[in-house]
Amino acid sequence: MHTSLELAAFCKKKGFMYPSSEIYGGLSGFYDYGHLGTKLKHNFEHLWRSFFLGLNDNFHEIETANIAHENVFKASGHLQNFTDPVASCKKCGFHVRADHFLAEHLKRRVEGKTTDEYQELITQNKLGCPQCKSVLTVSVLNMMFPVKLGVGKVQTGYLRPETAQSPYVNFKLQYELLRKKLPLGLALIGRAYRNEISPRNFTLRQREFVQAELQIFFDPQHPPSESDFALVKDQKLKTTLILDREQNKVVERTAQQLVDSGLPEFYVYHLIKIQEFYFQHLKISPEKFRFYQLSDQEKAFYNKYHFDLEIDLAEHGWTEVGGLHYRTDHDLSGHQKISQQSMEVLEEATGRKFIPHVLELSFGVDRHIYALLDLSYEMSKEREYVVLHLPAKVTPYFCAVFPLVKNKPEIVALGEQVYQDLKQHFSCLYDETAAVGRRYARADEQGIKYCITVDFDSLQDHAVTIRDRDSTQQERVKISQLKEKLALLFS
């Protein structure tokens, strides 16, 4: 099993991700994406858009400012409640997030407790400062970044700590523009900023990160997709409910069984669609994925139902990468109160007025990129180098074209012709440097799914050799049939 340090070193070496401002010693909690990482990230985002916006014709993407008015976060409760527990040493200045520190030492989750409870756990277990062994004191820290705007009479804004509030403050206008139809989905892929106490584990916990979220606004008397549940009621979901916690079990349950346990049909329907995205599109192994139910103490007070989306990573074990949250009307009600703008909508048939409820599908983009790299990484003993088994739909390059030799003009010309044709349809790389075996190795390390070699025989039989990254098997295909063959392999 590889370590996160090995993965981080590989990602830097190949141009996936690496510390930001590195020539100045780096900046804790900030990372840059290189040429391969950016393509991988964009491919994931495109796949996410295609799948989740495709769930309903009235789901739309918006793009909003990263800095928002102070009152946005007064209404959302972030100014008062967006805090993390911090354990500090007054002697040497060491700081660590208290719940993470305790979880690491106690080997169990301890989220959702008060500062006094965290202090008591630290005292009971005789846990001192890791650096100087002195006493640790627990307090709270608001994680938002304030920003001073303008000159003279300065206004305070905040870098948003989550992307969710942007669709909420856009709801009223977008609802009017989109002909007052519910359910209405507002999706956003954007940056969020949190002053993490102890950023760590490479890109799993950063101070600047990207979220992909879909906020579904709906009438609670007519929930979204309620008519579709019958189609999926027998499908099985990988779940760890509160009752499974003690034995840390992952149990397969049908959608109907989850509804019988007390979850609403519309909520379970979206669990099914999320699992479909992971299994069918991201190609995550079912053994590496689960829905983890949060208790009342762990989930945010405004979430009526909350399941984390977790992936089993090589060194870190089960790691949260997203969540499905039923936020009721908490957010719109808060913005209505502070802004004095009505967030109510009218059901014309009955004259009933109500504030829509919200179902939030939330995904950490950076965490998914890390997870995809982590699950795909293999130090191949047979090949004696790293092979990156990335799914075809997200890998930076789906295919690569290699002329067998570069000192034969006819082969190079045919290789360039094949490349120019393929790159119009697929993410494709052209490489003529070094021996073809070395080029195969480079391609495997970059995650390229298929390598296409133009050789001496190609000049006679007008065919090329396709090599599969995972099996290394090779197949001869006519150039005239190449696009159709690759399209079939891609789909």
| 400-451 per-position pLDDT tens digit | 999 999 899 999 999 999 999 999 999 999 999 999 999 999 999 999 999 9
Short-list 2, 143, 149, CA closest to 82: 143
Confidence class for position 198, pLDDT limits 50, 70, 90? confident
**Do residues 224 and 264 make contact, with C-beta atoms less than 8 angstroms apart?**
no
Mean pLDDT of all residues in 311-323: 96
What is the rounded distance in angstroms from the CA atom of residue 60 to the CA atom of residue 109? Answer: 36
Q: Tokens 């295919």 identify what position?
A: 399
CATH class of this structure's domain 4-80+148-376: alpha beta
Q: What are phi and psi of 76, to 5 degrees?
A: -80, -15
Q: How far is CA 24 from CA 19, 28, 419, in A?
A: 10, 12, 40
Tokens of 368: 């998914």
**Do residues 172 and 345 make contact, with C-beta atoms less than 8 angstroms apart?**
no
pLDDT computed for residue 24 by the predictor: 96
What is the rounded distance in angstroms from the CA atom of residue 121 to the CA atom of residue 105? Answer: 11
Confidence class for position 43, pLDDT limits 50, 70, 90? very high
Q: Tokens 């808060």 identify what position?
A: 334
Q: Kindly give, in sequence order, each residue whose CB lies less than 8 Å from that of residue 459, ignoring residues fewer than 6 positions away.
A: 410, 411, 414
For the chain, state the CA radius of gyration: 26
Instruction: Express each pLDDT in 121-134 by its tens digit.
Output: 999 998 999 889 88
Kindly report the number of other CB atoms within 10 A of residue 132's CB atom.
12
Instruction: Express each pLDDT in 203-217 by its tens digit.
Output: 999 999 999 999 999
Q: Is residue 227 pLDDT above 80, yes or no?
A: no
Find the distance separating the first CA and the last CA of the chain, reported in whole Å: 31
Tokens of 480: 């005239």
Q: What are phi and psi of 264, to 5 degrees?
A: -70, 155
pLDDT computed for residue 104 by the predictor: 86
Q: Is residue 394 pLDDT above 80, yes or no?
A: yes
Instruction: Express each pLDDT in 98-112 by its tens digit.
Output: 988 998 889 888 887
- CA atoms lying within 13 Å on the CB side of residue 41: 22
pLDDT computed for residue 449 by the predictor: 98
pLDDT computed for residue 83 by the predictor: 84
Instruction: Express each pLDDT in 231-285 by its tens digit.
Output: 999 999 999 999 999 898 999 999 999 999 999 999 999 999 999 999 999 999 9
DSSP notation for 443-466: HHHHT-SEEEEE-TTHHHH-EEEE
Q: Is residue 218 pLDDT above 90, yes or no?
A: yes
Q: Tokens 């906020």 identify what position?
A: 215
Q: What are phi and psi of 269, to 5 degrees?
A: -55, -45
pLDDT computed for residue 111 by the predictor: 80
Q: Kindly give, in sequence order, each residue whose CB lies less than 8 Å from that of residue 287, ignoring residues fewer than 6 positions away.
A: 312
- CA atoms lying within 13 Å on the CB side of residue 214: 23
Tokens of 119: 């202090």
Q: Is residue 141 pLDDT above 90, yes or no?
A: no
Q: Is residue 113 pLDDT above 90, yes or no?
A: no
What residue spans of 125-262 are helical by DSSP H?
Answer: 165-177, 229-232, 255-260
pLDDT computed for residue 387 by the predictor: 97
What is the rounded distance in angstroms from the CA atom of residue 295 to the CA atom of residue 308? Answer: 11
Q: Is residue 226 pLDDT above 90, yes or no?
A: no
292 exposure class (CB count in 10 Å sphere: 0-12, 13-18, 19+): buried
Domain boundaries, the chain: 4-80+148-376, 87-142, 397-490
Q: How far is CA 138 from CA 120, 123, 194, 299, in A?
A: 10, 11, 19, 21
Q: What is the DSSP letter of 388?
A: E
Q: What is the 3-state secondary structure (H, E, C) of 231-280?
A: HHCCCEEEEECHHHHHHCCCEEEEHHHHHHCCCCHHHHHHHHHHHHHHHH
CATH class of this structure's domain 397-490: alpha beta
pLDDT computed for residue 415 by the predictor: 97
Short-list 342, 301, 328, 348, CA closest to 220: 328
DSSP E strands in 102-200: the ranges are: 137-142, 145-149, 155-159, 184-193
Confidence class for position 332, pLDDT limits 50, 70, 90? very high
Average pLDDT, the chain: 95
pLDDT computed for residue 169 by the predictor: 97
Q: Is residue 10 pLDDT above 90, yes or no?
A: yes
Percent residues over pLDDT 90 in the chain: 84
